[in-house]
Amino acid sequence: MTKNHQLLAFLVAFIWGTNFVFIKYGLEELPPFLFATLRFFFVAIPLIFFIPKPKVSWALIAAYGVFIGFGQFGLMFYAMQNDISPGLASLVVQMQVFFSILLAIVFFRESVARIQWLALLISFAGIGIIASHVDGQTTLFGLALILTAAMSWSFGNMTVKKAGKVNIIAFLAYSSLFAVPTLALMSLYLEGWSLIVDSIQSASLSSVYVVLWQTIGNTLIGYGLWNFLLSRYSAAVVTPWALLVPVSGMAASSLLLAEPMPSWKLIAAVLVLSGLAVNIYASRRK
């Protein structure tokens, strides 16, 4: 990988990691499911009027929209409102790597090396440490929601794998059409019409900027650059850069939101990231 492309990979990891802080900023004025609804609405509109539908079935497009829109981001936003800190959320959601491996075994009959099972155990040891240190910032409910979001992300990964080679930006735009109704209905059910109207009317420019950054920075720039790199290099070369996502997420949360970083949290991070690193090494060997 050239130095310029290494910088692009670092930029993506930085964008995705620090995005957890921006999510927390957005949740200060917008309820979680309304926030997620707006995020995916502006991914779909106006892109669908300028780019053609990807050459894949509507069923796969709809499935991806529900898994990623509602399952991953809707639940993650909901958990981050009161039940988990941004730094830990950026770390725990990376368990999607292992959930994706388990789903690939079930649906695609892929083989898994013993060292990958060891990697899974190492990372789950880190999750166990987090579960044993729940406090005012992180609850078992929040941890469960983020793990569910990670599982939903892995189902989204399987959907993309089933779709094959596809224009990822078009896929994101059209799948967002199916994310918006599920998120909007959940917002209406949990948050209520009055809160929705009041939140939109009282939202400051900072909330507008955060929603736009979710759409443009996190989704279009982040996913666009990531898939640009994947189109030129093997996954074994590109994916290790994703290990920097929780690193930048925890660092940004500590610096910008004053999230405490006690020793148990750092140990948990080391275990989870070590498990991810071992899995990447095993994937390269395979």
Percent of the chain at pLDDT above 70? 95
Model confidence pLDDT, tens digit, residues 107-128: 777 777 788 888 888 888 988 9
In the predicted structure, residue 31 carries a pLDDT above the cut 80 = yes
Nearest alpha carbon to residue 20 among 71, 73, 70, 67: 73
- pTM recorded for the entire structure: 0.88
In the prediction, which pLDDT does 72 show?
A: 93
Torsional class of 284: left (φ above 0), alpha (ψ -120 to 50), beta (otherwise)? alpha
pLDDT band at 202 (very low <50, low <70, confident <90, very high): very high
Model confidence pLDDT, tens digit, residues 245-275: 888 999 999 999 998 888 988 999 999 889 8
Show the domain range for 156: 3-285
How many CB atoms neighbour CB 97 within 10 A?
24
Work out how many domains the chain is built from and give that number: 1
Q: At what angle do helices 263-285 and 244-257 cross, to 10 degrees?
A: 160
